[in-house]
């Protein structure tokens, strides 16, 4: 099949590569415009653009998806289908353009976790299983007919970072299988069934820890926001990010209120919650690099009974 690939993030790169190395023809790549970042305002390319350059593929970077020249350029590639992985919401004039339709890869088992951050929300909500879905794009976001799905068990030590990489690889395989079956006429789209849930965009403010929550809820939030943007609290009026949370099978003294440090040792920092004790193995001070607590404790003293804000 002749394909135009639309994508931006690192999550989409394995899908682009697997299609490029297949029997199908990737005719072009559409990604976001370049941006400038940092003190030197250096130009930053999207991960998908970098990959497309390496593969020497034509690249389109429209400022406006409704731009007439862009739409004409896109149509001139005469693609059989569009494959969309981690791109913005497409107007109808685009997703109805190819004769075999426009397909989206989504990092959840739809209809669960429709939205921008399905990987993070699956962890925050304490799910034990997630997966990837390919579906035909239609007007309402993430509601199109399902083509294929693959599931994946969530391990206890998974974070948004590790789960991202697993689902990115699993999704690439699903993308190729979907296009193969579509070309062979052996795929049967089906309506989404079951209870839907939302996965809205993650923001930094979501990471502020509420110690009144249970240890389990705090651990799930930590996993879901790791490595970015991270959960945080305040110590001596300074923000500190915390990583590597685990629940301890011990109880604290009744005199300690939630958010109180009950033990300090090289393995980590033990803090009371609304229900249970959670240990954090790593932290990041403002303006500093992430470090293990064993390293932190060599130059800093924190006493049990210290309250975190």
Q: Is residue 179 part of a domain?
A: yes
What does the pLDDT read at residue 77?
98
Domain match, 144 and 229 both: no
What does the pLDDT read at residue 309?
81
CB 160 within 8 A of CB 226: yes
Torsion of CA 170, 176, 178, 179, to 10 degrees: 160
Q: What CATH number corresponds to the domain at position 222? A: 3.10.25.10
pLDDT digits (tens, 9 = 90+) for 232-290: 999 888 899 999 999 998 765 557 899 999 988 888 999 999 999 999 999 998 888 89
* Residues pairing with 277 in the sheet: 248, 272
The number of domains in the chain is: 2
Domain match, 13 and 78 both: yes
Task: Using the 3D structure, point to which of 153, 184, 215 is the last residue of a domain.
Answer: 184
What does the pLDDT read at residue 253?
53
Residues of the chain below pLDDT 50: none
pLDDT digits (tens, 9 = 90+) for 191-220: 999 999 999 999 999 999 999 999 999 999
Q: Is 265 exposed, middle or buried (0-12, 13-18, 19+ CB in 10 A)?
A: exposed
What does the pLDDT read at residue 251?
66
What does the pLDDT read at residue 153?
98
Rounded to whole angstroms, the Cα distance separating 133 from 146 reads 7
Q: How far is CA 23 from CA 121, 180, 183, in A?
A: 35, 9, 11
Domain match, 119 and 165 both: yes
What does the pLDDT read at residue 286?
84
What's this model's pTM, rounded to 2 decimal places?
0.94
Neighbours of 75 (CB within 10 A): 14
């Amino acid at each position: 099949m002749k394909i135009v690939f639309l994508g931006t993030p690192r999550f989409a790169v394995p899908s682009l590569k697997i299609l490029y190395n297949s029997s199908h023809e990737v005719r072009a790549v559409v990604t976001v415009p370049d941006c400038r970042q940092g003190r030197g305002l250096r130009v930053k390319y999207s991960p998908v653009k970098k990959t497309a350059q390496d593969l020497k593929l034509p690249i389109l970077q429209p400022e406006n998806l409704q731009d007439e020249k862009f739409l004409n350029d896109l149509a001139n590639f005469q693609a059989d289908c569009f494959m969309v992985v981690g791109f913005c919401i497409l107007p109808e004039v685009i997703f109805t353009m190819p004769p075999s339709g426009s397909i989206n890869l989504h990092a959840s088992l739809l209809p669960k976790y429709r939205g921008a951050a399905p990987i993070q929300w699956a962890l925050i909500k304490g799910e034990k299983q997630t997966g990837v879905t390919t579906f035909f794009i239609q007007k309402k976001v993430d509601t199109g007919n399902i083509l294929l799905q693959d599931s994946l068990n969530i391990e206890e030590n998974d974070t948004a970072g590790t789960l991202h990489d697993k689902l990115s690889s699993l999704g690439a395989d699903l993308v190729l299988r979907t296009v193969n079956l579509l070309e062979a006429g052996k795929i049967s789209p089906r309506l989404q069934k079951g209870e839907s849930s939302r996965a809205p965009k993650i923001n930094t403010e979501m990471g502020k820890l509420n110690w009144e929550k249970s240890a389990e809820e705090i651990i799930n939030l930590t996993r879901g926001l790791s490595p970015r943007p991270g959960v945080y609290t305040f110590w001596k009026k300074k923000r500190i990010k915390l990583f590597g949370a685990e629940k301890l099978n011990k109880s604290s003294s009744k005199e300690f209120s939630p958010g109180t440090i009950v033990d300090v040792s090289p393995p980590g920092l033990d803090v009371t919650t609304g229900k249970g004790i959670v240990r954090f193995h790593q932290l990041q001070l403002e303006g500093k690099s992430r470090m293990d607590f064993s390293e932190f404790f060599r130059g800093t003293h924190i006493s049990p009974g210290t309250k975190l804000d």
